[in-house]
């Protein structure tokens, strides 16, 4: 009788979370051909495709969407059961901050998998703009934090390097405006300061027409065509283009930071899980 293999379900989830077959294969330590074979075997079992392949990577079919929660539940249940059977699992509490932007879903999946593997660890997750994370780490209100910085410190663990560029909606008249309408964060942070000081440095006239407490809000304003915004160059958002008359690219680093007193097996295990996931 045909059945779904739990190892194949792990491959399915890894590809989904990585956004590509190559990235998913690297995440679980398999070759691309081996991962592709497992997906084909799953599709043979269910009798229909699970992924759609396109220029920007992959997306789920209706069958894939139906399988996703089942796959996640099965894998997490197996991991939890194995941890309980082995005994001696981690116990305690961990407070972690994650950014409220494009990295949120990936980090949420990592934390969810960690919780399944270590059910006796109490996780306190703060999802917010990363501007306050450094202070929270210093005061001891957080043990770990993942957020973007303009320059990593000597103890920061770099997860990903990117660049910020000024983006606008192609069909809008934003680029031709004599006074550039811009969208920025509504509070003091290095990203807002960088956006405004960068325009000042090149003598570009601008007016803040939209503010938001998150990258999601800034991106939405740019997508709506009402303003230009400083966004990650790696984001492949349909219809958005870099401003041709502003060539500046600002480096940004997604880093993992630890509080000075945050040591021990729980912190180490979570740090290892995050570093491993971003190593692909």
pLDDT at 280 over 80: no
Write out the residue range of the structural domain in which residue 62 sits. Answer: 6-77
- CA-based nearest residue to 9, from 90, 93, 74, 80: 74
Q: Judge if 194 and 225 occupy the same domain.
A: yes
Q: Residue 122's domain is classified under what CATH number?
A: 3.40.190.10
Whether 82 is in a domain gets the answer: no
If pLDDT is split at 50, 70 and 90, which confidence band does 224 have? very high
Q: What is the DSSP string of 20-33?
A: SHHHHHHHTT--HH
Interval 251-268: pLDDT, tens: 999 999 999 877 788 888
Whether 108 is in a domain gets the answer: yes
Whether 85 is in a domain gets the answer: no
Residues near 164 by Cβ (< 8 Å), separated by ≥ 6?
Answer: 191, 194, 230, 231, 232, 233, 249, 250, 251, 252
Q: For tokens 């008359």, what's the residue?
A: 245
Radius of gyration over every alpha carbon of the chain, rounded to an integer in angstroms: 21
Phi, psi of 80 (to 5 degrees): -65, -45
Whether 246 is in a domain gets the answer: yes
Whether 259 is in a domain gets the answer: yes
Q: Judge if 56 and 185 occupy the same domain.
A: no
Contact 16, 52 (CB under 8 A): no
Number of domains in the chain: 3
Q: Judge if 175 and 239 occupy the same domain.
A: yes
Burial class (CB in 10 A: 0-12, 13-18, 19+), 54: exposed
Interval 83-110: pLDDT, tens: 767 655 788 899 999 987 766 777 888 8
Task: Return the SS3 of 252.
Answer: strand
Q: Judge if 197 and 270 occupy the same domain.
A: no
Predicted TM-score of the model (pTM): 0.68
Looking at residue 139, what is its pLDDT? 87
């Amino acid at each position: 009788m045909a059945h779904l293999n739990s190892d194949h379900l792990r491959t399915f989830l890894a590809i989904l979370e990585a956004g590509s077959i190559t990235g998913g294969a690297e995440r679980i330590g398999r070759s691309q051909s081996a991962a592709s074979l497992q997906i084909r075997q799953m599709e043979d079992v269910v009798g229909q495709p699970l992924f759609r392949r396109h220029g920007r990577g992959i997306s789920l079919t209706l069958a894939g969407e139906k399988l996703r929660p089942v796959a996640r539940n099965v894998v997490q249940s197996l991991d939890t059961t194995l941890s309980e059977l082995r005994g001696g699992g981690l116990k305690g509490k961990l407070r972690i901050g994650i950014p409220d932007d494009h990295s949120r879903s990936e980090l949420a999946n990592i934390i969810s998998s960690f919780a399944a593997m270590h059910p006796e660890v109490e996780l306190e997750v703060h999802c917010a703009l990363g501007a306050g994370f450094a202070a929270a780490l210093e005061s001891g209100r957080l043990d770990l934090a993942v957020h973007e910085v303009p320059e990593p410190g000597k103890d920061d663990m770099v997860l990903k390097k990117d660049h910020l560029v000024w983006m606008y909606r192609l069909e809008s008249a934003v680029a031709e405006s004599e006074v550039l309408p811009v969208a920025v964060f509504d509070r003091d942070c290095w990203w807002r300061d960088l956006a405004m000081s960068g325009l000042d440095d090149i003598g570009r006239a601008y007016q803040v027409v939209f503010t938001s407490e998150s990258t999601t809000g800034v991106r939405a304003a740019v997508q709506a065509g009402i303003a230009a915004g400083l966004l990650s160059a790696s984001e492949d958002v349909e219809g958005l283009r870099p401003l041709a008359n502003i060539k500046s690219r600002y480096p940004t680093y997604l880093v993992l930071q630890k509080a000075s007193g945050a040591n021990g097996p729980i912190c180490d295990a979570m740090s290892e899980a995050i570093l491993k996931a971003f190593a692909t």
